[in-house]
Amino acid sequence: MTQSQETQSKETQSRDDRSPQAYSQRAVCRFTVGSWSESVFADIDGEGTTMGETYYPKRGLTRADVTYIYTGDIEGTGSVAYLISYMPAPAPVVGFERFEGSIGGHDGSCVLRHIGDQDAGSVTARLEVVPGLGTGGLTALRGEAELRISGHAENGYELVLDYDLD
């Protein structure tokens, strides 16, 4: 096998490692925003828009501290620290959420990593359970969810978590 073929084989294997896992359980819930506090820490051009009391840079970075309230197969609250980028095109968002409550009737806490993109009207994100940070009945939780939000919804947003408890 040539070096080029080995590199291509490793790249293919790496992509395959990222493909969705098959999980044996599914939790469906809705979540609403309990609170949202966002502040700018980098305003690249000094241009932006103010909505309510919050300033959003045209190009820049903000930090948002958010709480979510979950109902359904997932019951509880989550506290998230987001780093949000802003630019005219879809921009990256990353965050870590500590969830406390129950998933599929198992009580405890876990941490979810959020990786996604946002623009003026929508958010897409992948949520993954961070191994080793669970407690109680969620200690061995593994799982992931895909999130797609367009616009604002008064009754919250659906989230479907595919998971296993080893």
Find out whether 103 and 97 touch, Cβ atoms under 8 Å.
no
10 is a domain residue: no
Q: Write down the residue that tokens 């990222």 correspond to.
A: 18
**pLDDT confidence bin for 20, thresholds 50/70/90:** low
What integer is the mean pLDDT of 52-80? 97
93 is a domain residue: yes
Residue 17, token pair as written in the block: 């490692």
pLDDT of res. 120: 84
Judged by DSSP in three states, 10 sits in helix
pLDDT of res. 8: 43
Residue 153: CB partners within 8 Å, gap ≥ 6? none
Position 14 pLDDT exceeds 50: no
77 is a domain residue: yes
Number of domains forming the structure of the chain? 1
pLDDT of res. 21: 75
Find out whether 128 and 113 touch, Cβ atoms under 8 Å.
yes
Position 74 pLDDT exceeds 90: yes
pLDDT of res. 6: 44
Report the mean per-residue pLDDT for the chain: 90
pLDDT of res. 121: 87
109 is a domain residue: yes
Closest among 49, 105, 95 to 74, alpha carbons compared: 105
pLDDT in tens, 43-63: 999 999 999 999 999 999 999
What integer is the mean pLDDT of 62-73? 98
7 is a domain residue: no
**Domain span at residue 57?**
21-165
pLDDT in tens, 105-153: 999 999 999 999 999 889 999 999 999 999 999 999 999 999 999 988 8
2 is a domain residue: no
What integer is the mean pLDDT of 79-89? 96
4 is a domain residue: no
What integer is the mean pLDDT of 17-32? 83
1 is a domain residue: no
Phi-psi category of residue 120: left, alpha or beta, with phi > 0 → left and psi -120 to 50 → alpha:
alpha
Closest among 109, 116, 114 to 132, alpha carbons compared: 109
Residue 49, token pair as written in the block: 């828009």
**Tell me, what CATH number does 133's domain have?**
2.40.350.10
Closest among 162, 119, 115 to 142, alpha carbons compared: 162
